[in-house]
Structure 1
Amino acid sequence: MARKIKLGIIGGGGDSLIGVLHRIASFINDNYEIVGAVFNPVWEENINFAKQIGIKTDRIYVDFDTLIEEELKLPKEERIQVCSVLTPNFLHFPMAKKLLKNGFHVICEKPMTTTFSEAKILQSVLEENNAVFAVTHTYTGYPMVRQMREMIKDGALGKIQKVDAQYYQGWLNPVIHEKEKRASTWRLNPEKAGISCCFGDIGVHAFNMIEFTTGMQIDTILADLNYLYEDNKMDIDGTALVRFNTNAKGVIRSSQVATGEENNLTIAIYGDKGGLRWEQENPNFLYVLSDDKPVQVYKPGHAYNSELSLDGTKLPPGHPEGIFDAMANIYLGVARAIRGEAYNSGEFPTVMDGVRGMSFIEKAVESHQKGNVWLKIED
């Protein structure tokens, strides 16, 4: 078996959901070992968390800069090869940039940066350095999402006419209505989260899913956002109309105050030959729609699925796979890229997905601020 890739973790300590997700995902396919980390900026919490999860403490560093400095002192075959950046949004850009410039591969949480200009800089830095860069749009790792992509690529839907992506959560509803609570939430703080909360956090997932599954790029958007309170500087709900450079049109609906909703990401793509619909809360079912046949249901692990879908399926049919497996598929693709092995372009989102995602976020906010006007998404 190939030697395990040495992984470093930045952030994701304590009860962080993202931290658990990335750590477990990195273990699933036996490609990585965590050898160094800065889990928390508070040293006691940092070192205690490493002990709690059974990570050796000799390479648990006091801060990010020390991690890079000390790792570069080690022989190349011993040092961290790739770092997962799991910090709040405002730290993604400076950390990813410094990692790339010092010869590390990067797996970065989304949004990749807090501004489009930062995203373009990061793209340039990556081009100057021979590195692998992945943005963890986790849902692209689900086998049935990958099946959706391959079926559309193979022409199963014909000419795409309509797209509809929805991402509804309700977690902000208990927070947003109390001034003190909303003022103390980092995702509602522009200095830490960037210019957008809802669209920056989950709306960008819907945007990415549309482009990932259809293989088409959204050309222009018109957005209408909701801030709910005058003192709240961040969107917590919104809708964007989208147009492609064909006659296809669509809508992105996103909310974090949809009371009672948990993690309701749904995408539907309609062509002149048929339609496909997938729901994140029921990820093992891909619904195939047509005018002249009953609804078909595709499920993971069956021979009728595409090679990309089957490659991301670890269990026999009938055994549910979920979010950990989806993230693990992204880590698997990154491992193949780091080792120089052949891989499918759909195995992990790249820096270009991050760049387009930041353009989407900024243009959505700008469109709203300018009175709901059409604006072009930039590369």
Structure 2
Amino acid sequence: MGLVGGGQGAFIGRVHSIAGTLDNRAALVAGALSSNPEKAKASAPDYDISANRAYGSYQEMIDAELKLPVGERVDFVSVATPNHTHYEISKAFAEAGFNVICDKPLTFDLAQAEELAKVVARTGVVFGVTHNYTGYPLVRQARDMVRSGELGDIQAVRAFYIQGWLRTRLETSDQKQAAWRTDPARSGAAGCFGDIATHAYNLGRFITGLIPDTISAHLKAFEPGRQLDDYGTAIIRFTNGGLGTVTASQISHGRENDLWIEVDGTKGAIEWHQEEPNKMIVRKNGEPHRIYTRAGGPYLGDTAGRSTRIPSGHPEAFLEAFANVYTAVFDDIVLRVEGKSFDGAKSLYPNVADGVDGMNFITQSVASSADGGAWKKLHHACCR
């Protein structure tokens, strides 16, 4: 495993390193941990990366790793950097033949995402995108229930991601995460909607498989002086006639990482909350509500079971879900190394097409909001 980003003061890079090595299927052995060469090398001991594989830039990392025998090179690279760098870094590694796991959103804008998808198709590398909430066992259980028809035809999806950490102008302090996430030059065209609404949207797509048709969105920066949205809501029309809503906030008092989703079908409904991830509510008209628990019994399918590590009653959460995305990517990397065919579109991990879908969601949400909430086409050729 190689890591780009994650230097001193970063958050998500450490998460990637833990998730990628949690099941002992990979070891972190190389990294370009910062865009500042001195900081990059100074951060290496924090990850137990030896000095000779602590690189000052991602290009230096590519050049040096390619000089190693094939069996000694990193098998994949995790990109855990600010949004505006995802494209150039991911593209460079993919074109050099390295498998890539990239943080979301996939790129800075839709055009970059579409181009990156072409690069991945041309090079044949395995490419994952860490919409990590798809890794929770009960999220995967919900997906299986939809696909088996247990909930009937899906009519409505409501997804929310509510935070409060940007209630004040935190970006004017020395808070690194707030600074780049609210900067359009580094974050992209959207703030809150690009940062967390994409997770809510992806979660709905992952569970239901519904194909989006059109979107109407309203995004707003409530905090005075902020350049990008800190609140937004969108209505989505799906091609099957169903409706969806996505609401995201980073200015709601006292809220932490309150991501939740509700799915209504003709035969039943589910409700799942990320802050209480080890249970899911299942409702069917005229019947008592059921509480499904992670690893709770024979009512859970094989997919949820394979996504669980410890007995029910011992909580599993964010890091384990993140690791489940990595595990699914690893399965395809092994197939590629063995010279066997793989199909990321049929795997459980979000792939480059899902990344393009997420960038299209951001792009059309911003366009709709700028046009007074006018309906914009959301369907994209990448949708699966």
TM-score interval, smaller chain: over 0.9
Residues 20-74 of structure 1, C-alpha deviations (whole Å, 9 max, x = no match): 2111111111110111101122333322321133221210011111111111111
**Structure 2 equivalent of residue 43 of structure 1:** 37
Residues 211-249 of structure 1, C-alpha deviations (whole Å, 9 max, x = no match): 000011221110011112574321110000111012211
1:256-267 map, 5 Å:
256-267=250-261
Instruction: Give the Cα separation in 2 of the matches to 1:52 and 1:81.
Output: 21
TM-score if structure 2 supplies the norm length?
Answer: 0.93
Q: How far is the alpha carbon of 1:178 from its aligned partner?
A: 6.6
Instruction: Give the Cα separation in 2 of the matches to 1:264 and 1:309.
Output: 22
Letter matched to residue 374 of structure 1: W
**Residue range with higher mean Cα deviation, 132-141 or 220-229:** 220-229
Instruction: List alignment gaps of at least 5 residues for structure 2.
Output: none
Instruction: List alignment gaps of at least 5 residues for structure 1.
Output: 1-6
Residue pair 1:35, 1:59 contacting (<8 A) in 2 also: yes
**Residue range with higher mean Cα deviation, 294-303 or 260-269:** 294-303
Match of 2:108 among 104, 108, 114: 114
Residues 272-327 of structure 1, C-alpha deviations (whole Å, 9 max, x = no match): 11100000000001110111111101111133211111111001111110111001
Match of 2:293 among 299, 304, 307: 299
Q: Secondary structure at the match of 1:33?
A: coil
1:174 aligned onto 2:173:
no
1:1-379 map, 5 Å:
7-175=1-169, 185-228=179-222, 231-301=225-295, 302-340=297-335, 345-377=346-378, 378-379=380-381
Distance verdict in 2 for CA 1:131–1:237, change over 3 Å? same
**Structure 2 equivalent of residue 4 of structure 1:** none
Instruction: Give the Cα separation in 2 of the matches to 1:303 and 1:28.
Output: 26
Instruction: Give the Cα separation in 2 of the matches to 1:231 and 1:320.
Output: 41
Instruction: Give the Cα separation in 1 of the matches to 2:239 and 2:12.
Output: 35
Instruction: Give the Cα separation in 2 of the matches to 1:318 and 1:214.
Output: 27
Instruction: Give the Cα separation in 1 of the matches to 2:211 and 2:41.
Output: 44
Letter matched to residue 138 of structure 1: N
**Structure 2 equivalent of residue 3 of structure 1:** none
**Residue range with higher mean Cα deviation, 261-270 or 306-315:** 306-315
Letter matched to residue 30 of structure 1: N
Q: How far is the alpha carbon of 1:15 from its aligned partner?
A: 3.5
Letter matched to residue 92 of structure 2: K
Letter matched to residue 157 of structure 2: V
Instruction: Give the Cα separation in 2 of the matches to 1:229 and 1:300.
Output: 39
Q: Secondary structure at the match of 1:165?
A: strand
Letter matched to residue 87 of structure 1: T
Q: How far is the alpha carbon of 1:343 from its aligned partner?
A: 8.8
How many pairs align? 373
Residue pair 2:38, 2:56 contacting (<8 A) in 1 also: no
Residues 103-137 of structure 1, C-alpha deviations (whole Å, 9 max, x = no match): 00000000000111111100100110121000000
CA-based RMSD: 2.0
Instruction: Give the Cα separation in 1 of the matches to 2:45 and 2:131.
Output: 29
